[in-house]
Amino acid sequence: MDKMVLHRMEYYGYHGVFEEERKLGQRFYIDVEMDLDLRAAGQNDDLTKTVNYAEVHELVKEIVEKKSFKLIEALGEHIASSLLDTYTVIDAVCVKVTKPHPPFDIHFQGVTVELYRKRK
C-alpha cells in the first residue's frame, strides 16, 4: 500500500487534564500517515485522484486549535476519524500526537500517542 505522510505539523491548542493547560494552551506536534492507492494520481498527475495535503493540514489545524480535549488520545482519535470520514480514498490512518512539554516536574522531551485506524 502507498502512503502519504505529513510530518510534525505544529499547532497551538488547549488540551490537557489540568485546567491551566486548557486555559493557557501549549504547542502540539501532529504526524499523519495515510494509507491510500497513489497509482492513479501518479500516472495521471491528477490531484483529484489523491488527497490534497494542504486540506489535510487545515482539517487537523481546525481540530487542534478550535476544540479542546482532556486527553491527547481523544485528540488523536478525533483527527483519525475525521480524516477517514472526509477522505474516502484513505484506507487507514496513523496519527501521532506529541505534547512536547507536559506539565510535570520531571525532565523529558514530551509524550506521544500513536493511533492506527482502518476503514470499517
What is the rounded average pLDDT for all residues in the chain? Answer: 95
DSSP secondary structure string for all residues of the chain: --EEEEEEEEEEE---SSHHHHHH-EEEEEEEEEE---HHHHHHT-GGGS--HHHHHHHHHHHHHH---S-HHHHHHHHHHHHHHH-TT--EEEEEEEESS-S-SS--S-EEEEEEEE--
**Could you tell me the CATH number of the domain that includes residue 65?**
3.30.1130.10
Q: What does the pLDDT read at residue 32?
A: 98
Q: Report how far residue 58's alpha carbon sits from residue 30's, in angstroms, rounded to the nearest whole number.
A: 12
pTM: 0.94
What pLDDT, in 10s, does the model give residues 43-77? 999 999 999 999 999 999 999 999 999 999 999 99
C-alpha cell at 7: 510530518
Number of domains in the chain: 1
Give the model's pLDDT for residue 102. 78
In the residue annotation, 61 being an active-site residue is answered as no
Which of 66, 99, 118, 120 is flagged as catalytic? 99
Where in the sequence is the domain holding 104, given as residue range(s)?
A: 3-118
Each residue's pLDDT, cut to its tens digit, for the chain (120 residues) gives 899 999 999 999 999 999 988 999 999 999 999 999 999 999 999 999 999 999 999 999 999 999 999 999 999 999 999 999 999 999 999 999 999 987 777 777 889 999 999 998
